[in-house]
Amino acid sequence: MSDQSSFKKGLEGLDQGPRPSEQGPEAVPPQAGGLPPHPTVDALRERFGDAVLRHEVVAGDEHIVYVPAGRNLEILGWLRDAEGHRYDFLQDLTAVDYGGGRQIQVVYQLWSVSNKLNLRVKCELPLSGLEIDSVYFLWRASDWLEREVFDMFGVVFRGHPDLRRILMPYNYAEGHPLRKDFPLRGRFTRAEQTRRALAQKTEDHYSPMELEIAHVLGQPVPDPFPAGEAGGGQHGQFGGMGGGG
Amino acid sequence: MALRRLIYNVTRSPEMAPGGALVHAPIVPVEGEAYEVHEDVHGEHMLINIGPQHPATHGVLRLVLELDGETVIRCIPHIGYLHSSFEKLGEYRDWNQVVPLTDRMDYLAPLIYNCAYAMAVEKLMGIEVTERCKVVRVICMELDRIFSHLLWLGTTAIDLGAFTVFLYTFQQREKIYDLHERFTGARITTSSTRIGGMMADLPAGWITQLEEFLDHFVPVVEEVETLLTNNAIWVGRTQGVGEISGEDAINWGLSGPNLRASGVTYDVRKDRPYYDYQTYDFDVPVGEHGDIYDRYLCRMEEMRQSVRILRQAIDRLPGGPINVDDPRVILPPKTAAMNDMESMIHHFKVVMEGVRAPVGESWFSVESSKGELGMYVVSDGGSKPVRWRVRGPSFINIAALPHMIEGALLSDVIAVNASLDIVLGEIDR
């Protein structure tokens, strides 16, 4: 019998859904005294004052600091160089879209190799103004990570020297796939997607810089998908696969 | 815990055996040589395209190179040819259904990806897995570290013209495939973890088979060492090629053996231990020069250290259940589900509604064979992730490729690219 009651408790848990965590996104920011201290967060408060918008602790021991998007470069630059903190390793740079028109969060996950400290810094951007300063010159690791966030979420990183799509084709016209309003199968019909794939030209596979180099050298751009190898008379990646949409 | 630093006694000048045989080859100064040898074509720049379908790019990586003779002036990588939108697909699947997506990212070390994902979600949900599960996962992860390093070794050697090594390493990989198959039912797409435990406990006799593998494996590492470590061609093609300093490596975000070869002692297993790694006795090899040769030495030593960890894990493998006793996430035993109405309802609800995670997020990383593998999971309290993000080590390692090869020779592009140990499934996701 006792077996069954413990069993039901588990089921109740399922029916009620999960308990919201204390520091969930909608939760009231907890008092500073109530959180386990983090040396860098204290130093940030001291140095930048109210630029520390919020401080959260999630999953037990992960500290998150929210900073204004306009001051990200200044604060992250300080975090990288400040004595005693030195977050010299950019573990990850990504974004989160919660959907429903909420702000998109740009997430910097930092690690200090010398001090063995973790810190997550977040900046919130409204959907109407998806622009933030690039940290390319602080951590070169952010080069491709920022390109990926731009590709997937449409966040523009000001000052990034080579901001172009990275995973999707350069002439991809359907939008930014990881946004919540993006349907899983894409925005275009299947026929339109096939038509565009078959209509790709050699130049479409190159970045503007490469086309510029080829132009300066007076050389045609090399075809990454030679028609002869793919078989059939069609051009491009899908040559020989048949099916014209 | 401080890292113990192993410094390899690598001679960087020609050293002859008493009989006159070359023991170590000298390093050829890369840049100067290239200009002298190819003086006739100096000044004629050329744009060439390598890949995406090229065996030496280890997948569908495409490189566009601007060459001056044989010297690389500029290298521009293009990725995305294998893009499968895993992160988007994950948002349409419940927490357990994401597991099969993880091992399709890095099919060279699938169990590490399975485990890392499960660990991130468990951290988010506040689940502490059982002691047996922890040790089984350590065994899985260390076994796949060997699995991945063996493929790296074989294919890199083949890229540099040493075919024999490939046969040695793939023979050993077959044995790990057999272990995978016996444990998970699949050779590559293992999908073996579940939130709160594993798909199944280890089958009877599996540990014995693993021990047999380890006994046969260690001599093979030694044998491969004799084929490569002092091989004049190997040394000449790898020493001083693709160098990156420790400071640069940190700034470019390199991790794993690629970072440690540059002399940086950063290993997630030591610096942020998970699953009691601090109680295992193992060393983290660290190189000095940050070139291909040091990456090779680091990986060779890591395989030996993984064997050490595996032997300790086998010794301490405790009994008891492999899954947590938590009806929120774990299915009831099949016999109970078939005979007992309560259990059947429970089974139905867990399967149909999925496991639910509380509102919140977690960024959790493990030391994968290729570097630091981070899993970032964000939940809004539902049974599906709001965001599932993978910090793929290959993705960030390969971004530093242009930095390492600009100014080197065309043939070094293949060597450096191979030395980074990339897997395109995870780069393109």
The count of domains in chain A is 2
Strand A117-125 with A104-112, pairing: antiparallel
Tell me: do A197 and A82 sit in the same domain. Answer: no
Residue of A nearest to B273 (CA): A116
Residue of A nearest to B375 (CA): A92
What is the mean predicted confidence (pLDDT) over B328-346? Answer: 86
In a domain, A212, yes or no: yes
- Which CATH superfamily includes the segment(s) B86-428? Cytochrome-c3 Hydrogenase, chain B (1.10.645.10)
Residue position matching structure tokens 């840049």 = B31
Would you call B376 and A92 a contact, using CB atoms and an 8 Å cutoff? yes
Tell me: do A216 and A158 sit in the same domain. Answer: no
Q: How far is A70 from chain B (nearest CA, A)?
A: 23
Q: Provide, as residue numbers in chain B, all residues whose Cβ is less than 8 Å from the Cβ of A96.
A: 361, 378, 386-387, 389
Burial of A69 (0-12, 13-18, 19+ CB in 10 A): buried
Interface test with A, best of B88, B363, B366, B391 (most A CBs within 10 A): B363
CB-based contact A107:A122 (threshold 8 Å)? yes
Distance of alpha carbon A163 from alpha carbon A216, whole angstroms: 22
- The pLDDT score that the predictor gives to residue A7 is 43
- The pLDDT score that the predictor gives to residue B259 is 92
For B327, which of A10, A120, A166 is closest by C-beta distance? A10
Would you call B396 and A145 a contact, using CB atoms and an 8 Å cutoff? yes
Give the torsion sign (CA, A35, A36, A42, A48).
negative
In a domain, A7, yes or no: no
Distance of alpha carbon A133 from alpha carbon A156, whole angstroms: 8
Mean pLDDT of chain B: 85
Tell me: do A226 and A155 sit in the same domain. Answer: no
Tell me: do A42 and A161 sit in the same domain. Answer: yes
Q: Provide, as residue numbers in chain B, all residues whose Cβ is less than 8 Å from the Cβ of A109.
A: 363, 374, 376, 391
Tell me: do A31 and A148 sit in the same domain. Answer: yes
CB-based contact B327:A7 (threshold 8 Å)? yes
Please state the ipTM of this predicted complex. Answer: 0.84
- The pLDDT score that the predictor gives to residue B369 is 92
- The pLDDT score that the predictor gives to residue B73 is 86
Residue position matching structure tokens 């590559």 = B188
Tell me: do A140 and A214 sit in the same domain. Answer: no
Share of chain B above pLDDT 70, in %: 90
- The pLDDT score that the predictor gives to residue A19 is 38
Q: Residue A95 corresponds to which tokens in the numbers above?
A: 């974004």
A144: domain CATH number is 3.30.460.80
Q: Residue B22 corresponds to which tokens in the numbers above?
A: 């070359």
Q: Provide, as residue numbers in chain B, all residues whose Cβ is less than 8 Å from the Cβ of A213.
A: 45, 47, 66, 74
How does residue B140 score in pLDDT terms, banded at 50, 70 and 90? very high
Q: Which of B303, B305, B307, B316 is nearest to B276 (CA)?
A: B316
Burial B179-195 (b: 16+ CB within 10 A, else e): bbeebbeebebbbbbbb
Angle between helices B292-316 and B206-228 (to 10 degrees): 160
Q: Which residues of chain A have pLDDT under 70?
A: 1-35, 227-245
Q: Residue B256 corresponds to which tokens in the numbers above?
A: 């794993």
Tell me: do A196 and A88 sit in the same domain. Answer: no
Q: How far is A224 from chain B (nearest CA, A)?
A: 7
For B358, which of A18, A88, A89 is closest by C-beta distance? A18
- The pLDDT score that the predictor gives to residue B42 is 53
Interface test with A, best of B266, B377, B396, B398 (most A CBs within 10 A): B396
For A89, which of B253, B350, B400 is closest by C-beta distance? B253
pLDDT at position B376 over 60: yes
In a domain, A155, yes or no: yes
In a domain, A20, yes or no: no
Per-residue pLDDT tens for B148-182? 999 999 999 998 888 899 999 999 999 999 999 99
Tell me: do A68 and A107 sit in the same domain. Answer: yes
What is the mean predicted confidence (pLDDT) over B230-244? Answer: 85
Burial of B341 (0-12, 13-18, 19+ CB in 10 A): exposed
Per-residue pLDDT tens for B86-135? 998 888 888 888 999 998 998 899 999 999 999 999 999 888 999 999 99
Would you call B64 and A18 a contact, using CB atoms and an 8 Å cutoff? no
Q: A with B: how many residue pairs have Cβ under 8 Å apart?
A: 171
Would you call B264 and A92 a contact, using CB atoms and an 8 Å cutoff? no
Distance of alpha carbon B36 from alpha carbon B54, whole angstroms: 29
Helix (H) or strand (E) holding B317: none
Distance of alpha carbon A38 from alpha carbon A84, whole angstroms: 12
In a domain, A111, yes or no: yes
Distance of alpha carbon B56 from alpha carbon B37, whole angstroms: 24
Q: How far is B201 from chain A (nearest CA, A)?
A: 23
Residue of B nearest to A92 (CA): B391
Per-residue pLDDT tens for B4-34? 333 333 334 555 666 655 555 444 433 333 3
CB-based contact B404:B237 (threshold 8 Å)? no
Question: In Å, what is the CA distance from A157 to each residue of A28, A144, A160, B20, B395?
Answer: 30, 12, 6, 59, 19
Dihedral pair phi/psi, residue B414, rounded to 5°: -65, -40
In a domain, A143, yes or no: yes
For residue A181, give every residue at least 6 positions away whose Cβ sits within 8 Å of its Cβ, in sequence order, or none. Answer: A99
Tell me: do A115 and A43 sit in the same domain. Answer: yes
Tell me: do A218 and A143 sit in the same domain. Answer: no
Domain span at residue A109? 27-167
Tell me: do A204 and A163 sit in the same domain. Answer: no
Distance of alpha carbon B111 from alpha carbon A47, whole angstroms: 44
Per-residue pLDDT tens for B62-86? 999 988 888 888 888 999 888 988 9
Per-residue pLDDT tens for B280-301? 999 899 988 888 999 999 999 9
Would you call A23 and B365 a contact, using CB atoms and an 8 Å cutoff? no
Q: Provide, as residue numbers in chain B, all residues whose Cβ is less than 8 Å from the Cβ of A59.
A: 123-124, 126, 360-362, 364
Give the torsion sign (CA, B222, B228, B229, B230).
positive
Q: Which of A169, A130, A136, A126 is nearest to A150 (CA)?
A: A130
Tell me: do A195 and A245 sit in the same domain. Answer: yes
